[in-house]
Amino acid sequence: MEILTHEIYFKTNGFTEIHNITPQIQEILTESGLADGQVLVSAVGSTGGMTTLEYEPGLVNHDVKEVLDKIAPYGKDYVHNRTWGDDNGSAHLRSALVGTSYVCPFVKGHLLLGTWQQIVFIEFDTRPRDRRVIVQLMGMVSRNT
């Protein structure tokens, strides 16, 4: 049984910009040599989101933004904004609703995702950010090799 903790870093532009981080996670998994287990993907910070989504332009560039704009619009006068002279209350609310961590099982070194299912980080903040995401593997090498 192994626990391996990695980090990935990337730059974001804000306002519910969606990043497909599946390739980086699969690469870390492949290089680990682990066969069976699970990967915990966790965003550091309170204005990002972690979930799965079909990563296609319609959902990514329009539909997800539209739904969340209805739930917690960006321009609104949140008490958070008034208290801290900030403008990202909406980002905090979206993050709390969507969640910041996701756990994916893997078998024989492959993530158990659907064909149209990708692991995505969503940047809810209102400015460009340097993001850090924890990718922690827990698993074992195959007993049959």
Kindly list the residues in this chain that would bind a second copy in the complex (CB under 8 A): 1, 3, 5, 36-38, 40, 42, 44-46, 51-54, 56-59, 61-64, 67, 70-72, 78-84, 89, 92-93, 95-105, 107, 112-114, 116-118, 120, 134, 136, 138-140
Least distance (Å) between residue 12 CB and a second copy: 14
- The nearer residue to a second copy, 30 or 134, going by C-beta atoms, is 134
Least distance (Å) between residue 23 CB and a second copy: 17
CA–CA dist 118, 120 (Å, integer): 6
- The nearer residue to a second copy, 15 or 53, going by C-beta atoms, is 53
Least distance (Å) between residue 64 CB and a second copy: 6
